[in-house]
Structure 1
Amino acid sequence: MSKDGVNCSACSQVFHPLAKESACCPHAEPDVVDHHVIDTRDAYLTATAAIVGGTGPIGVDAERASGFTYSQRAYLIQIYRRGAGTFLFDPPAIGDFRELNDALVDEEWIFHAASQDLACLREVGLDPARIFDTELAARLLGMPRVGLGTVVEELLGIHLAKEHSAANWSTRPLPEAWLVYGALDVELLPNLRDQMVEMLAADQKSVIAEQEFAAVLTRETKPPLAEPWRRLSGVHSLRTQRNLAVARELWLARDRLAQDIDVSPGRLVPDASLIAAARALPTTRQGLADLRDFSGRASRSELDRWWAAIQTGLAQTDLPSLRGNGDALPPPRAWADRNPEADLRFKAARAVLAEISTEFLIPLENLVTPDYVRRMAWTPPEPIDAESVGQALAVLGAREWQIELTSQRIADAFVDIHQTIVAASEADS
């Protein structure tokens, strides 16, 4: 066995010792590794010293229990560094990771899809100052699929099994197979990062990547929605304010219970059941109990809670509006009727952005955030030129490289549409 992997007995290829199968020889036998979860302060401090003694960037990942728990806290944090090894931490048991953060904050931390993990890591005191995001890098490199397993297989020739990605990571003790999965998620990140650095340089996208990684770190947390209950799946099918009032109270009741017992709301009573009850507007507790579409593990055990919420909704005098508040724009499919000029601007901008996307092999959603394009098309800057478009993009949050690549082309598209509209108007008159 080499330092970095297992030598295939059938060829000269080397594959990772924990990989489910090698890239060249599926019958090769991987080493058996017993993964230990660090769940005491003393062991955590010892591991911190070992990680500090390693070299190079640090591979980092976190596992949550999305879909199982109400909170989005981390239930496993995985760290790998060359010369130190792999460390699997139990965040609920350890609590505060400030010592580790203070020791490593100035090092480069490698993530795959950092935006998914930063919030739960910051909750325990881990807040990097510099990152490399392999998922973002894969997007900027124009790779058609950017999941970690696919990227690793394409660039490193190693197959990763991803069967535990949606597991309930709040489970204790964590099964060994899950720990192997968690370890692999970080052990390959430094090698992946090194190859991507070369590829980004070859494509002249190193500066673009640096700006994107920095933007992930500085992105502001979205403020809580004023009316989060409106995200109920199917809420738009409710036709009256009274239906909406009952849906709101049911959502609030479910959210309070879910938060109290730390269970994902949908596992108590699914959205479809809340909508069914809000649509039916049962007038008695028994009527609610008899509603066939009102189901879920807590639909009967907490029936009094749901009936009280319905009663509150039925008695409400401050009814919610049929249309939500906020500055949300109408869906683009409605623009042709509601704001035809904006519709033409939006379509023209999308067309030129698609050309730029193809030219530079950067996905549209990474080239410019789609919402930025919609907002500028709906309310264009004045006067319409590259400078004003660039300023508008900057205010919305676009990066320098995005502005440099797109502002002139978007401005030209808007001007062309304006001239076409003016010419059509003059011809009609």
Structure 2
Amino acid sequence: MTEFTVIDDPIEFQAACRLLAAGTGPVAVDVERASGFRYSQRAYLVQVFRRDAGVFLFDPPAIGDFSPLQAAIGDVEWVFHAASQDLPSLRELGLEPATIFDTELAARLLGHERVGLAAVVEDTLGITLKKEHSAADWSTRPLPDSWLDYAALDVLHLVDVRDAIAAELEEQGKSEFAAQEFAATLSQPPRPPREDPWRRLSGLHQVKGARGLAIARSLWEAREEFAQQQDTSPGRLVPDRSLVAAVLANPQSKQALAGVQAFNGRASRSQLDRWWDAIVRGREAPAVPRERGHSDALPPARAWSDRNPEADARLKLARSLVEAQAEELGMPTENLLKPETLRRVAWVPPELTTDAVASALADLGARPWQIDQTAQKIVDAFVEAGQSVDQPAAPES
């Protein structure tokens, strides 16, 4: 059994913060949410470990104000495994690290074949973790002892893993790569709200016509409103497929909607008035949505040879060189340079100089180390592609 202290009392919380402030070295931090169960992405458990202090499992709903914890550890390095997943929930609590170390991201840069927490702990420390409660409903109270033990293990070994990974980064000459990636993760702004988020309904492609889309939109909005009120994951109330089934069935009355067998889910009948009202609103909405949403997405690469053969040639040659460089560095290609970044530079290329390509990559979010490793190779590929496209076809014999 792992040693840990569960903190759900303000007085105990103050004492735990003092212990953590007096600890040594970085702090390991993890968050448990209730994704798939709750509407929000709030933290339902915050795990913290620091050497000479111990493991503390903080209960956010019971504690409320986390400013004492921020004051205790805010100025030291926080160690995460996949920090981008946890930072938004921590920021909701007012918890903001000054610097981070991300063992998952570092493992990718190092070329580890397995980058899940259990795999990285086993590969670096030889310790086997059981990952049996990762998809649990962490809003449950009281939390079972086995869940708490699992949560404690998520941070207990993380500082040791950090030290082993840091040594490996130094050995491979990738410490600066990692530092830039960590800083980029920490400074990443929140994602802007998605335009027309209802268009992500699974199965929406089956709905034809603007009026049908208006009904689907109205049902999605009604489900979102109710899910937020109940703090319940929308799909647990009525699955996407059920909303789409209701649109496709085109019921002419509330009773007919109730008779649609494929319209199911735990709130499909208890909230029947809500869903029927949404269908009526969608049918009567004066403004119907466009049949296709706005998108700045590039065409799929398989279509480039027909739509933009010059860009296709640039992409193929540059991708080959970037992949070879990633292999030489011993890391996945997507960690050397995001495929979308390369596609955008290939589709509308800047002036074919290293400085111009470097500037374009930076505008798309590439880090300095990535630019150093790829900009000249992209220029070389684009120049070669232009020469091959410009060459006249060989005459027929």
| TM-score category of the 2 structures, normalised to the smaller one | over 0.9
Cα RMSD, aligned residues only: 1.7
Distance 1:349 1:293, change over 3 A: farther
Cα offset, 1:319, TM superposition: 1.5
Name the residue aligned to 1:405. 373
Cα pair 1:385 1:412 within 8 Å, conserved? no
Cα pair 2:5 2:55 within 8 Å, conserved? no
Name the residue aligned to 1:296. 265
Distance 1:278 1:375, change over 3 A: farther
Secondary structure at the counterpart of residue 322 of structure 1: coil
Name the residue aligned to 1:353. 322
CA distance in 2, matches of 1:96, 1:59: 20
Distance 1:118 1:376, change over 3 A: same
Cα offset, 1:427, TM superposition: 7.8
Name the residue aligned to 1:387. 355
CA distance in 2, matches of 1:45, 1:151: 33
Match of 1:83 among 42, 48, 52: 52
Name the residue aligned to 1:336. 305
Is residue 2:62 matched to residue 1:93? yes
Query: How far does the alpha carbon of each residue in 1:283-305 deviate from its partner, in whole angstroms, 9 at most, with x for none?
Result: 22222222221111111111111
Cα pair 1:281 1:310 within 8 Å, conserved? no
Structure 1 unmatched runs, 5+: 1-16, 19-32
Counterpart code for 1:151:
V
Match of 1:199 among 153, 160, 168: 168
Query: How far does the alpha carbon of each residue in 1:140-196 deviate from its partner, in whole angstroms, 9 at most, with x for none?
Result: 110011000011111111110000000000000000000000000001011101111
Distance 1:419 1:94, change over 3 A: same
Name the residue aligned to 1:5. none
Equivalences for 1:220-369 in 2 at 5 Å? 220-369=189-338
Match of 1:55 among 20, 24, 39: 24
CA distance in 1, matches of 2:394, 2:293: 39
Cα offset, 1:308, TM superposition: 1.1
Worse overlay, 170-179 or 231-240: 231-240
Equivalences for 1:81-230 in 2 at 5 Å? 81-230=50-199
CA distance in 1, matches of 2:237, 2:341: 37
CA distance in 1, matches of 2:87, 2:237: 28
Cα offset, 1:424, TM superposition: 4.1
Is residue 2:28 matched to residue 1:64? no
Distance 1:425 1:287, change over 3 A: farther
Cα pair 1:50 1:84 within 8 Å, conserved? yes
Counterpart code for 2:160:
N
Aligned-residue identity in percent: 56
Distance 1:232 1:401, change over 3 A: same
CA distance in 2, matches of 1:123, 1:425: 61
Distance 1:247 1:341, change over 3 A: farther
How high is the TM-score relative to the length of structure 1? 0.89
Cα offset, 1:131, TM superposition: 0.7
Is residue 2:6 matched to residue 1:37? yes
Cα pair 2:218 2:281 within 8 Å, conserved? yes
Secondary structure at the counterpart of residue 352 of structure 2: coil
Cα pair 1:75 1:92 within 8 Å, conserved? yes
Cα offset, 1:341, TM superposition: 2.8
Cα pair 1:162 1:181 within 8 Å, conserved? yes
Counterpart code for 1:386:
T
Counterpart code for 1:66:
S
Cα pair 1:80 1:186 within 8 Å, conserved? yes
Cα pair 1:60 1:79 within 8 Å, conserved? yes
Worse overlay, 304-313 or 284-293: 284-293
Cα offset, 1:226, TM superposition: 1.7
Match of 1:418 among 386, 389, 395: 386
CA distance in 2, matches of 1:284, 1:415: 64
Query: How far does the alpha carbon of each residue in 1:1-24 deviate from its partner, in whole angstroms, 9 at most, with x for none?
Result: xxxxxxxxxxxxxxxx64xxxxxx
Distance 1:280 1:348, change over 3 A: farther
CA distance in 1, matches of 2:302, 2:262: 32
Secondary structure at the counterpart of residue 129 of structure 2: coil
Cα offset, 1:82, TM superposition: 0.5
Cα pair 2:27 2:49 within 8 Å, conserved? yes
Cα offset, 1:331, TM superposition: 2.9
Secondary structure at the counterpart of residue 153 of structure 1: helix
Distance 1:84 1:270, change over 3 A: same
Distance 1:425 1:320, change over 3 A: farther
How high is the TM-score relative to the length of structure 2? 0.96
CA distance in 1, matches of 2:332, 2:107: 10
Secondary structure at the counterpart of residue 117 of structure 1: helix
Cα offset, 1:110, TM superposition: 0.5
